[in-house]
Structure 1
């Protein structure tokens, strides 16, 4: 069977597993991304995310992660919810409504890898989901799944940007896909809407100014200068995606694991302000919100209320 047939077979199985789309690129050095990543790190835009400084070479060359790697299979999994939190309450990013995506996508990727081996024979490779030195968006863009927009998210004309990205890096020759063109045009909606001016230029996000960084990654106290600019976000932020015109095409996901805990959609401000550790554990037992821990969530709520 030739690489094109392999590629078609893999994409068909990815669709059967529930992935939104699947694209393929050659496992080469990311030549264009290398200077961008170096400039970003030297500018300190990663803030306290010091792990971004590690494994620089591995982030740019998948062959250093998977010996003998030949192809990168990128997949998208929709998480756009049918129902959202009510207006006027504290906000959680939509990606964290349901079960932690790392576990959901990795399970599906392992199924896809198992299918490949059952059809082709032994194929070496690893599954990656936002928890290893892999530039997910760069590989997805190379694979033709979308373009990287001015807010640094992967965008598609069909469904916008509310989806997760995962990869299988394989030692298997596959037919690569061609990248798509940029369709941001003259739009600056994301730059104009960001309350902390974290999008410092088109396609450049200063992570150390991002609300998601403050509410999740930052372990120390939040700088007082950003008080009043959070728009009630206590875990993550969706502003630059919510205002993106391409997200008017977002459609509700069909993944039961991403359905929110019913209590999440009924919680009002006072419920958040009085939340106990037991309630936190019950609602977010399997959610990515656990990353910030109960103490971190309380810190974020107190900051919004001017208590810290």
Structure 2
């Protein structure tokens, strides 16, 4: 027991030192409650053209199928709430995309945490995940006591809201396990009421195929004309359901320099967006997640907003 307590504290202390906002740990196993929910969500085609959501169904629900002999899921949160935000007459991008691509930033920190575990604890097998494999990160973070799933289906915490990334280490080491916290959404429906495309069809159920983030990032074809005029000037992603959430009054600016925006981004007007060239796109979004939609995708989004 002493070993488990000691190792758990060591891992959590190192996660904090590396800049993670918080760290929670769950016993690796089958996500019993999530299984029927995921099945129903997929059956109702809530994933739109995101076919990859249908792959690896069993692995999504059981990390032991992803990592041999896994015992623990270490969930980590990294703040991305920016000190400065886009203001004035501009097309908007999600705050998570202001700085460098979070996949690279977080993977580096996770590798450092894995190295620390190997050096200080011994040979521990496992894998690091950042939103790039069939891992239900929000479910694991909630199970690990890092927050509860809000009605907008994002992880929420009382102290800092929801503007943070979630990542995991799935390892074959037994640790001390945390417990889920209670839901504090109460009767509030701000996120549901404010969604520009009514994508939150029921509390905790988001129809991905109606979400502005889906249309501006995932969708490869033309955006359906039925949604014309409903995008609230969002050119990449959408933060409306988080912006209106009362718990995000407690968001604090991040301390990660790599997440700071290119100064040119904050000064761009709608005119600048409409006239953006491929060179400017490359310069402003050099290492940003916005590159995911490609220059042609961003042009499509801006044209849709401008029509």
Work out whether the TM-score is over 0.5. Answer: yes
| TM-score between both structures, scaled by the size of structure 2 | 0.99
Matched with 2:11 is 10
DSSP-derived class of the 1:286 partner? coil
1:15-94 maps to which residues of 2 (within 5 A)?
Answer: 15-94=16-95
Structure 2 residues without counterparts, runs of 5 or longer: none
Aligned-CA RMSD value: 0.5
| TM-score between both structures, scaled by the size of structure 1 | 0.99
Asked if 1:151 corresponds to 2:152, the answer is yes
Distance 1:144 1:86 in 2: 35
Distance 2:115 2:141 in 1: 21
Matched with 1:248 is 249
Matched with 1:236 is 237
Structure 1 consecutive aligned stretches of length 4 or more whose deviation exceeds 4 Å: none
Q: Aligned residue pairs: how many?
A: 306
Which region of structure 1 is more displaced relative to structure 2, 4-13 or 162-171? 4-13
Distance 2:28 2:89 in 1: 46
DSSP-derived class of the 1:127 partner? strand
DSSP-derived class of the 1:195 partner? coil
Deviation at 1:4, TM superposition (A): 1.5
DSSP-derived class of the 1:263 partner? helix
Distance 2:111 2:29 in 1: 23
Matched with 1:103 is 104
Deviation at 1:305, TM superposition (A): 1.2
Matched with 2:113 is 112
Deviation at 1:88, TM superposition (A): 2.2
Distance 1:87 1:74 in 2: 37
1:106-150 CA-to-partner distances (Å, cap 9, x unmatched) read: 110110011011111100000000010000000000000000000
Structure 1 residues without counterparts, runs of 5 or longer: none
DSSP-derived class of the 1:2 partner? helix
Asked if 1:301 corresponds to 2:293, the answer is no
Distance 2:80 2:32 in 1: 31
1:279-290 maps to which residues of 2 (within 5 A)?
Answer: 279-290=280-291
1:218-237 CA-to-partner distances (Å, cap 9, x unmatched) read: 00000000001000000000
Distance 2:200 2:89 in 1: 25
Distance 2:36 2:6 in 1: 35
1:150-171 CA-to-partner distances (Å, cap 9, x unmatched) read: 0000000000000000000000
Deviation at 1:5, TM superposition (A): 1.4
1:169-193 CA-to-partner distances (Å, cap 9, x unmatched) read: 0000011101100000000000000
Deviation at 1:66, TM superposition (A): 0.4
